[in-house]
Amino acid sequence: MKSFPIPTRADVTPGNQQIFDNLTKMVGHVPNLYAAFAQSEHALGNYLALQGGKTSLRAKELEVVNLVVSQVNNCVYCLSAHSALAKRQGFTEDQILSIRKADISFDSKLDALAQLAKSITENRGHADPAVVEAFYAAGYNEGNLVDLVMIVGDKTITNYLYALTEVPVDWPAVPVL
Q: What is the mean pLDDT of residues 156-160?
A: 98
CATH 1.20.1290.10 segments of the chain? 59-165
Percent of the chain with pLDDT over 90: 98
Confidence band (pLDDT; 50, 70, 90) for 170? very high
Looking at residue 62, its pLDDT comes to 98
59-165 CATH:
1.20.1290.10
Q: What is the mean pLDDT of residues 12-39?
A: 97
The model's pTM: 0.96
Q: How do residues 117-137 score in pLDDT, each as one tens digit?
A: 999 999 999 999 999 999 999
Distance of alpha carbon 132 from alpha carbon 86, whole angstroms: 24
pLDDT above 90 for 2: no
Looking at residue 89, its pLDDT comes to 96
